[in-house]
A and B are shown apart, each in its own frame.
Chain A
Amino acid sequence: MSTSAAFSSAVMPRDVAAAAPMGDVLPPVTPRRGFIGFVRRNPTIAIGGGLLLLMLLIAVFAPLLWTVDPTALAPARRTREPSAQYWFGSDMLGRDVYSRVLYGARVSLLVGFSVAFCASVVGLAIGMISGYVRWADSIIMRIMDGMMSIPPILLAIALMALTRGSVQNVILAITVAEIPRVSRLVRGVVLSLREQPYVDAAVAAGTRTPRIILRHILPNTLAPITVQATYICAAAMITEAILSFIGAGTPPIIPSWGNIMAEGRALWQVKPYIVFFPAVFLSITVLAVNLLGDGLRDALDPRMAKRL
């Protein structure tokens, strides 16, 4: 369409009609980069991650945080109320609850992170095979269905019953119980990724299957896996506490939040603080991990329209 006749761009029009300037209806937003920008964009990740980092620091630096030996018995000073000496009180054997709760964070976080990591790695491998090898799929998925029909906590209890209580065994038992869920997720993601046009284009471009899995499928499963891992981490910490609470988990010699609560259970009505403090720490940690997971899900989910 030739339009030059319509325009007289060589000469300035004599009467320039300028549009009335538009005001803004919202206060200006200054885009921030760096840390503040990140926090503003992802408040859930910041809060969840911050709390979790705090717990991690507490667990690592427990000896430096004015604690005493968490296993030191002092029968003479049993069941003291919280005070300047016993910040969270003392338990029925006279041990310092504050020190026990802080050291207990080590077990919870260790179990949570280890289970999340191991279950993700194993689940990723199983899910990949299931999503890519057709004949293996029906066999693997029926086994996973079978395992999933048992509630994870019962499966973990059953596995613990076969062995002696130790932190490693707790991690192993919970990992086994969580694997089916990750495998199912990965399989679903792999099946939908296989249908993506970029995978078709890679096949058409002569890419061999191992490379397709490695370069085109695997990297794109990592985002949903990471989100799932945080939820597994939270679930594992709760399962660990339950196992310890019923005496099927971490041996009593090692303080864990479940153990502390189990020991305080008998005195719940007269000395509630023995149960209260570990329960609060467990809740905060689980909340932090879940917040982190929700934040990651929103940040990594491509469907979240960030265009508006």
Chain B
Amino acid sequence: MALLEVENLQTHFRTPDGVNRAVDGVSFEVAAGETLAIVGESGCGKSVTAMSILRLIPEPPGKIAGAIRFQGKDLLTLSEPEMRDIRGNEISMIFQEPMTSLNPVLNVGRQIGETLRLHQGLSAKDAEAKAVEMLTLVGIPEPGRRVREYPHQLSGGMRQRVMIAIALACNPKLLIADEPTTALDVTIQAQILELMRDLKHRVGAAIVLITHDLGVVAEVAERVVVMYAGKKVEEAPVGQLFRTPRHPYTQGLLGSMPKLGSSLTGTETRLAEIPGLVPSLKQKIPGCVFASRCSHATDLCVKVAPALELKAPGHIAACHYATKEGAIAA
């Protein structure tokens, strides 16, 4: 049994202009200790998926359907107090903006200790000792002094480390990281990615990484889910996805990224564009969600939504025309 099984997740929102199908039938699994990346552009539903797992979607106007089984237990059937026991304890989350997700009036030690006292019933003294230990773990220098500081006294990278310390304080089995390095500078991002890789070995928590950055995916993920317009369009082990992408959208994304080092290899080419715009999620799309922008699309694609099919071992894609075997000429 996988640690987390998301089955046919649908998260819809009621708006005055119609129902927004932000996530519409997404399924995936996360094994214990594994790092799964969910990648896609803004509005593809990746963040809503993450929020849905922790049931952080306000209902109404939202509505979550499907099944989210964590260690075999369907989170969607739990009561709110039961859910609170899971959040921050067995499943915890890191957000993009470390400044706004930390409480500005509590010192760092209190914020790390809070979850420990709440979920593990530690005394104030033990909680602070553990907080210092956590700060050491995430590589903050002088943890004994930093534990008494407030968020505004820390730099952006330092705050993200504190967020990670809070998230890991209760030894969660699953960590959901929503764009954890997007707000950071590239040298600080490198530090945090290094930390995440390092902690994975030491802590052993499974990670669901939500990001738009394919570079970050390549650096830390083991498996990748590609989302587009509320649907999963492709899923594959990370190496396979980058080597032989099967879905035209994934191919388009990779082709539209300039390759670092292209001036050295002399492979500077014009960037591939994906024409057009993401379709509105307020209209039902009968066929393939990518058909309107896909250069391979036919009548079939417009009329019939493709099923997710196994195209190679461990590699599934939702495309009528993606061949099942044989590598794609890059």
Chains A and B directly touch (beta carbon < 8 Å):
yes
In contact, B19 and A29 (Cβ under 8 angstroms)? yes
In contact, A28 and B19 (Cβ under 8 angstroms)? yes
Q: Mark A5-39, 1 if CB is under 8 A from B, else 0.
A: 11111001100111111101110111100000100
| Given A9-B296, A28-B19, A308-B20: A16 and B329 interface contact (C-beta under 8 Å) | no
Interface residues on chain A, size class: 20 to 34
In contact, B306 and A18 (Cβ under 8 angstroms)? yes
In contact, B17 and A3 (Cβ under 8 angstroms)? no
Most chain B beta-carbon neighbours within 10 Å: one of A6, A7, A18, A20: A6
Q: Which of A9, A26, A307 contacts B298 (CB under 8 A)?
A: A9
In contact, B18 and A28 (Cβ under 8 angstroms)? yes
In contact, A13 and B63 (Cβ under 8 angstroms)? no
| Given A1-B330, A28-B19, A29-B18: A22 and B322 interface contact (C-beta under 8 Å) | no
In contact, B65 and A25 (Cβ under 8 angstroms)? yes
Q: Which of B274-330 contact A (CB under 8 A)?
A: 296, 298, 300, 304-309, 318, 320-323, 326, 328-330
Q: Is A215 an interface residue, CB under 8 A from the partner?
A: no
Q: Give the Cβ gap from B249 to chain A, nearest Cβ, in Å.
A: 11
Q: Mark A296-308, 1 if CB is under 8 A from B, else 0.
A: 0000000000111
In contact, A25 and B63 (Cβ under 8 angstroms)? yes
Measured CA separation A3–B255 after assembly (Å): 10
Q: Is A265 an interface residue, CB under 8 A from the partner?
A: no
Chain B contacts of A40 at CB under 8 A? 16
In contact, B18 and A3 (Cβ under 8 angstroms)? no
Q: Which of A3, A20, A24 contacts B19 (CB under 8 A)?
A: A24
Chain B contacts of A24 at CB under 8 A? 12, 19, 21
For the complex, count residues of B whose C-beta is within 8 A of A.
Answer: 44
Q: Is B139 an interface residue, CB under 8 A from the partner?
A: no
In contact, A19 and B306 (Cβ under 8 angstroms)? yes
Chain A contacts of B81 at CB under 8 A? none
Chain B contacts of A13 at CB under 8 A? 320-321
Most chain B beta-carbon neighbours within 10 Å: one of A5, A18, A26: A26
Measured CA separation A29–B12 after assembly (Å): 12
In contact, A6 and B14 (Cβ under 8 angstroms)? no
Measured CA separation A2–B244 after assembly (Å): 12
Q: Which of B10, B16, B255 contacts A22 (CB under 8 A)?
A: B10
Q: Which of B22, B43, B251 contacts A1 (CB under 8 A)?
A: B251
In contact, A6 and B329 (Cβ under 8 angstroms)? yes
Q: Is A194 an interface residue, CB under 8 A from the partner?
A: no
In contact, B61 and A308 (Cβ under 8 angstroms)? yes
Smallest CB gap from A40: residue in B: B16
Q: Give the Cβ gap from A250 to chain B, nearest Cβ, in Å.
A: 43
Q: Is A41 an interface residue, CB under 8 A from the partner?
A: yes
In contact, A16 and B304 (Cβ under 8 angstroms)? yes
Chain B contacts of A17 at CB under 8 A? 306-307, 309, 320
Chain A contacts of B184 at CB under 8 A? none
Measured CA separation A249–B140 after assembly (Å): 66
Smallest CB gap from B13: residue in A: A308
Q: Which of A8, A16, A31, A307 contacts B16 (CB under 8 A)?
A: A31
In contact, A22 and B318 (Cβ under 8 angstroms)? no
Q: Which of A110-159 contact B (CB under 8 A)?
A: none
Measured CA separation A210–B120 after assembly (Å): 64
| Given A6-B246, A22-B10: A30 and B305 interface contact (C-beta under 8 Å) | no
Q: Give the Cβ gap from A266 to chain B, nearest Cβ, in Å.
A: 51
Smallest CB gap from A28: residue in B: B19
Q: Is B263 an interface residue, CB under 8 A from the partner?
A: no
Going nearest first, the 4 A-B pairs with the smallest beta carbon separation are A17-B307, A25-B65, A1-B255, A6-B328
Q: List 25 A-B contacts (CB under 8 A).
A: A1-B251, A2-B329, A3-B251, A4-B329, A6-B321, A6-B322, A6-B328, A6-B329, A7-B322, A9-B321, A13-B320, A16-B320, A17-B320, A18-B305, A18-B306, A18-B307, A19-B25, A19-B306, A19-B308, A19-B318, A25-B64, A29-B19, A31-B18, A306-B15, A308-B61
Q: Using a CB–CB distance below 8 Å, which chain A residues touch chain B?
A: 1-9, 12-13, 16-22, 24-26, 28-31, 37, 40-41, 306-308
